[in-house]
Amino acid sequence: MSIKKNIVITGGSSGIGRAIALEMAKNGHAIYIVSRSENKLEKVAKEIESAGGVAYFGCGDVANPDVVDALYNDILEKMASVDVLVANAGVGYFGNLEDMEIWQFDEQMNTNVRGVFLWIRKVLPEMKQKNSGQIIVTSSNLGLKTSARTSIYSATKHAVQAMVWCLREELRETQVKAATINPGSVSTPWFDGKDVDRERMLSATDIAKAARLIIDQDKTSDIDHILLLPAKN
Ligand X SMILES: NC(=O)c1ccc[n+]([C@@H]2O[C@H](COP(=O)([O-])OP(=O)(O)OC[C@H]3O[C@@H](n4cnc5c(N)ncnc54)[C@H](OP(=O)(O)O)[C@@H]3O)[C@@H](O)[C@H]2O)c1
Q: Which residues are catalytic?
A: 153
Q: Considering beta carbons, is residue 89 or 124 the nearer one to ligand X?
A: 89
Q: Considering beta carbons, is residue 175 or 223 the nearer one to ligand X?
A: 223
The counts of H helices and E strands in the chain are 7, 9
- Could you give the CA distance from residue 226 to residue 214 in angstroms, rounded to a whole number? 9
Does 225 bind ligand X (CB under 6 A)? Our answer is no
Does 84 bind ligand X (CB under 6 A)? Our answer is no
Does 113 bind ligand X (CB under 6 A)? Our answer is no
Interface pick for ligand X out of 5, 29, 40, 158 (rule CB under 6 A) = 40
- Could you give the CA distance from residue 135 to residue 127 in angstroms, rounded to a whole number? 10
Does 144 bind ligand X (CB under 6 A)? Our answer is no
Please answer whether residues 120 and 85 qualify as being in contact, where contact means their C-beta atoms are separated by less than 8 angstroms. yes
Q: How many residues appear in the chain?
A: 233
Q: Is 41 exposed, middle or buried (0-12, 13-18, 19+ CB in 10 A)?
A: buried
228 backbone dihedrals φ, ψ, rounded to 5°: -120, 130
Does 58 bind ligand X (CB under 6 A)? Our answer is no
Does 90 bind ligand X (CB under 6 A)? Our answer is yes
Interface pick for ligand X out of 6, 7, 8, 16 (rule CB under 6 A) = 16
* Interaction site with ligand X (CB under 6 A): 10-11, 13-17, 35-37, 40, 61-63, 88-92, 111, 138, 140, 183, 185-186, 188-190
